[in-house]
Homo-oligomer: A and B are copies of this chain.
Amino acid sequence: MEELIAALRAEGMRITESRKAICEVVAATGDEHLSAADVGERACQTLGRPVDQSTVYRTLDVLETLGFLHHVHLGHGPGVYHLSEDAGHHHLVCENCGAAVDVPLTDVSPILDKVAAQHGYTVRGAHFALTGLCGDCQTA
């Protein structure tokens, strides 16, 4: 959290109560995947007063631009945000129940990189999830 605030300050940006609250929520995010609405809700609780959704979006956008956050799409619902990691991971989502698991990038990168290279592409990040059926939904 201190890191996020410091980075914003280093960019010449102003540190408002709303931003502080959002940074706190984001920093406290473990490997959770929060939607913008989730972040907003928690920020409101942290701050004890309403924080506008547009402010949440704008702040998340800033943090994403600075490289602290990524947002991914796990399904048809809202996009979800999570802290950037060194390694990164793909997401495997059940089409039926929505359960999601993280897949270390190292498990899939070799092939994806190779395939992408065949088309002149460079795979970067994991903006969309891989879809399938989880164990429970297969048996059901």
Chain B residue contacts of A48, Cβ below 8 A: none
A73 and B128 form a contact (CB under 8 A) = yes
Within 8 A of B (CB), among A68-119: 73, 92, 94-95, 101, 103, 107-108, 110-112, 115-116, 118-119
A115 and B107 form a contact (CB under 8 A) = yes
In chain B, what residue has the closest Cβ to A138?
Answer: B122
The CA of A103 and the CA of B110, in the complex, are separated in Å by 15
Chain B residue contacts of A131, Cβ below 8 A: 123-128
In chain B, what residue has the closest Cβ to A101?
Answer: B119
State the oligomeric state as a number of copies. Answer: 2
A121 and B125 form a contact (CB under 8 A) = no
**Does A5 lie at the interface of the complex (its beta carbon under 8 Å from any beta carbon of B)?**
no
Chain B residue contacts of A44, Cβ below 8 A: none
Known interface pairs A73-B128, A115-B103, A116-B92. Does A121 touch B133 (Cβ–Cβ under 8 Å)? yes
A116 and B132 form a contact (CB under 8 A) = yes
Chain B residue contacts of A101, Cβ below 8 A: 119, 121
Chain B residue contacts of A132, Cβ below 8 A: 116, 121-124
In chain B, what residue has the closest Cβ to A135?
Answer: B120
A115 and B108 form a contact (CB under 8 A) = yes
Chain B residue contacts of A116, Cβ below 8 A: 92, 130, 132
Of the candidates A92, A112, A121, A123, the one having the most CB atoms from chain B within 10 angstroms of its own CB is A121
